[in-house]
Amino acid sequence: MFRPAITGTGVFTPPNVITNAELVTAFNAYADRMNAENAPAIAAGEMEPMQHSSEEFIVKASGIENRYVMDKTGVLDPAVMHPLLRQRDDDEPGIMTEMAVDAAKKALAQAGKTAADVDAVICAASNLERAYPAVAIEIQQALGIEGFAFDMNVACSSATFGIQAAADMIRSGSIRSALVVNPEICSAHLEWRDRDCHFIFGDVATATLIERIEDAKGPHFEILSTRCATQFSNNIRNNNGFLRRSRPDGMKDRRDMQFMQNGRKVFKEVLPMVSQHIADHMAAEGVANTDLKRLWLHQANKTMNDFIGKKVLGREPEPGEQPNILQDYANTSSAGSIIAFSQNSDDLTEGDLGLICSFGAGYSVGSVIVRRHMS
Ligand code: COA
């Protein structure tokens, strides 16, 4: 058996920021417009008027202040309310490939490696821009990597499930190294017209290079153990898919073709599931909460992370011990815990232990226990 290690990470951050103030202005203009259009039905009591959103609510309920997106013009146009992306020719790189390649190059540079050092690419994301060919294979070709590539989707937990798949292949010896990439264009499946969730998501891409530990050229994180779990739930759901046109009303502008969630239930059901999962994983590996130097959690909601951090550590986390990036990026689905890891791990020193955990739709939860080595 070989020992796997994370030797490099990279983050692609889209060029456009949407602040809560911009978002709320656009949403409220859309609500006013809808209320004006439907004034007779509202006056007749046949329809409820749309209510305004508020910056105060968004920050208080989620901790989110900004989000990055691939396009902001469509999202902020009350007559559009979704991103507007350029139609690409089949012979040019897809948008997910472009985002993932940028993040992958940063991960390779950090590890001091090139495409020739990589044996496999796993594109693990909550949405894939087409059914086939696999986006991962396009990324593999764009980077000039030999070997093989495949796509996988476990929604917000895709990154940790991808890391487990890569780490297991490295352990068994079928590959020496893999790039796990997470291009997330959440803006395209978010329902920007729904006040309950319009603030939740942003876009980003992350990449993690995993190699045999003896191939690491610089400081790295040994993957000591991974653990994944799933339990079916309809509380986070998106019904869009290839059967759409075959069903009555399938092509209509239906609410369930975008992200839907029962936020309160998610909150109540996922918190105990994740806290127990982490506690069991640590106990199985003989890791006490006093041994953990850092927790890089899925970035969906600040209150959720505060709760999990306190439960796992058995006390209030110290500043920086459980870093949040969601104030800047919002929820970026599978990429969130990897952004937190990438931007908040350089200061750890030899022997320090940390835990990456992502969780979300499915339900699903994945955790990775890592140990820092300086060389
Ligand atoms: N602006 C102002 N008020 C709003 C609002 C907005 N944008 N959205 C909702 N409200 C109102 C609601 O109508 C409700 O009003 P009421 O009390 O009069 O009924 C009130 O604010 C509270 O709404 P609620 O939905 O209960 O808020 P919440 O505190 O549960 O926060 C979430 C909502 C979505 C942030 C929270 O439930 C959450 O984070 N859940 C888990 C999310 C998650 O992890 N999802 C995973 C996705 S991968």
Tell me how far apart the alpha carbons of residues 285 and 165 are, in angstroms, rounded to a whole number. Answer: 19
Choose one of 195, 197, 299, 324 to mutate for the ligand 1 pocket test, by most ligand atoms within 8 angstroms of C-beta: 195
**Within 13 Å, how many C-alpha atoms sit on residue 334's CB side?**
30
Atom of ligand 1 nearest to the CA of 198: 7
Choose one of 22, 160, 196 to mutate for the ligand 1 pocket test, by most ligand atoms within 8 angstroms of C-beta: 196
Percent of the chain with pLDDT over 70: 100
CB-CB contact of 174 with 222 (8 Å): no
Mean pLDDT of 7-26: 98
- Is residue 123 part of the annotated active site? The answer reads no
Q: Whose CA is nearest to atom 36 of ligand 1?
A: 263
Phi-psi label, residue 94: left if phi above 0, alpha if psi -120 to 50, beta otherwise:
beta
Mean pLDDT of 78-89: 98
Give distance in angstroms: CA of 219 to centre of ligand 1: 41
Give distance in angstroms: CA of 115 to centre of ligand 1: 44
Tell me how far apart the alpha carbons of residues 270 and 358 are, in angstroms, rounded to a whole number. Answer: 11
Percent of the chain with pLDDT over 90: 99
Atom of ligand 1 nearest to the CA of 156: 48
Q: Is 212 helix (H, G, I), strand (E, B) or coil?
A: strand
Choose one of 50, 59, 236, 264 to mutate for the ligand 1 pocket test, by most ligand atoms within 8 angstroms of C-beta: 264
Give distance in angstroms: CA of 48 to centre of ligand 1: 18
**Within 13 Å, how many C-alpha atoms sit on residue 167's CB side?**
24
pLDDT at 87: 96
Q: Whose CA is nearest to atom 28 of ligand 1?
A: 61
The secondary element (H helix, E strand) that includes residue 329 is helix 326-329
Closest CA to 365 of 236, 271, 225: 271
User: What is the band of 307 on the pLDDT scale with cuts at 50, 70, 90?
Assistant: very high
User: Could you report the per-residue pLDDT of 173-200, keeping only the tens digit for each?
Assistant: 999 999 999 999 999 999 999 999 999 9
Choose one of 266, 298, 304 to mutate for the ligand 1 pocket test, by most ligand atoms within 8 angstroms of C-beta: 266
At 139, give phi and psi (nearest 5°). -65, -45
Query: 123, 156, 186, 228: which is the annotated catalytic residue?
Result: 156
Mean pLDDT of 73-91: 97
Give distance in angstroms: CA of 146 to centre of ligand 1: 46
pLDDT at 25: 98
| Ligand 1 neighbours by CB, cut-off 6 Å | 53-54, 57-58, 61-62, 156, 195-196, 236, 261, 263-264, 266-267, 300-301, 304, 331, 360-361
Give distance in angstroms: CA of 58 to centre of ligand 1: 8
Mean pLDDT of 257-285: 96
Atom of ligand 1 nearest to the CA of 27: 7
pLDDT at 214: 98
Mean pLDDT of 114-121: 98
Tell me how far apart the alpha carbons of residues 299 and 327 are, in angstroms, rounded to a whole number. Answer: 9
Q: Whose CA is nearest to atom 32 of ligand 1?
A: 263
Look up the pTM and report it: 0.97
Q: Whose CA is nearest to atom 15 of ligand 1?
A: 196
Q: Is 53 helix (H, G, I), strand (E, B) or coil?
A: coil
CB-CB contact of 269 with 235 (8 Å): yes
Give distance in angstroms: CA of 60 to centre of ligand 1: 10
User: What is the band of 95 on the pLDDT scale with cuts at 50, 70, 90?
Assistant: very high
Closest CA to 203 of 8, 16, 343: 16
Q: Whose CA is nearest to atom 40 of ligand 1?
A: 263
The total number of residues written for the chain in this structure: 375
Query: Which residue's structure tokens are 């509202």?
Result: 42
Average pLDDT, the chain: 97
Give distance in angstroms: CA of 298 to centre of ligand 1: 18
pLDDT at 96: 98
